[in-house]
Amino acid sequence: MLEAAGSKLADLGNVLLVDLPGFGASEPTPASLDATVIGQALVQACAQVEYREMDLVGHSMGGYLAMAMASDRAPEIKAVCCLSGAYFSVVAAAARPASAALHHPRASVYYRAQVALSLLGPIAPGLLAALARLGLTSAVLRPFLAHPRRALPRFRASLSTDFRGRSFRMAARNAKSHDPRTDWPRIAVPVFGLFGVCDRFTGRADVAEFRRVLPGANVTLFDEAGHFSHIEQPTATFDWIRRSLASARVIREGERA
């Protein structure tokens, strides 16, 4: 998926594709997945290849991290595209479970299910693979996709092969120290949010809170997409990224003039 993203966005200039620490090809998991520490490491990595200005594009947990990085106001960061990363209800479920169970019951159930799965350790990938063999993958994907039965085999397989339980639990600890309601209003660069109308994980209440916390953000909704717009609507998603970053660059040029 990263390779496809790189080819589709190559016309924007230099594109640096990153598997976040603890996920994808970035194993083994480091001692900490604190958003501030990881964000600083990413900025330093960009500096090593002489990238002095960065437009951040992050999906889901990556979107949450991109927003956390922007809220720390590193001068290198010039814009943020946040795809399905409005983790307000998820943060509540992780940091305030009792209250979240009352106010965000759906997000709490999905979050707790992932925590339970992560605690199974090496058994979890095998369990997910078994569910796939039984034809139950669509039920697992229902909270995340508008049309789970249309999911490509490669994406279905990634549920088991790419699951990182320990990394998920470590990343979830950010909920207690990085609250988007208090942190994100500090963001001083253009913010663009993309959300799927059929997303049941970060749902409509999260989008509404995103707009409330960031009244200046540009928010776009895709009707025929869930949590993975780049999977269900790839062409429209990459076109949106291009338009958003082009708009951010126009804003920058106007500020410099």
Look-up of token digits 């953000």: 217
Strand partners, 80: 56, 191
The two three-digit tokens of residue 239, written as one number: 């076109």
pTM: 0.89
For residue 28, cis peptide bond before it (omega within 30 degrees of 0) = yes
CA proximity to 146, closest of 85, 196, 192:
196
DSSP code of residue 174: G
DSSP code of residue 189: S
> 36: domain CATH number?
3.40.50.1820
Total structural domains within the chain: 1
pLDDT in tens, the chain (257 residues): 556 666 777 777 788 888 887 787 776 666 778 888 888 888 888 888 888 889 999 999 899 999 999 999 888 999 999 999 999 999 999 989 899 899 889 889 988 888 888 888 888 878 888 877 777 888 888 889 999 888 888 888 777 777 777 888 888 888 888 899 999 999 999 999 999 999 998 889 999 999 999 999 999 999 999 999 999 999 999 999 999 999 998 888 887 76
Contacts of 240 (CB under 8 A, 6+ apart): 81, 192, 194, 220
Instruction: Give the residue numbers spanning the domain of 56.
Output: 2-256
Q: Are 224 and 252 in contact (CB under 8 A)?
A: no
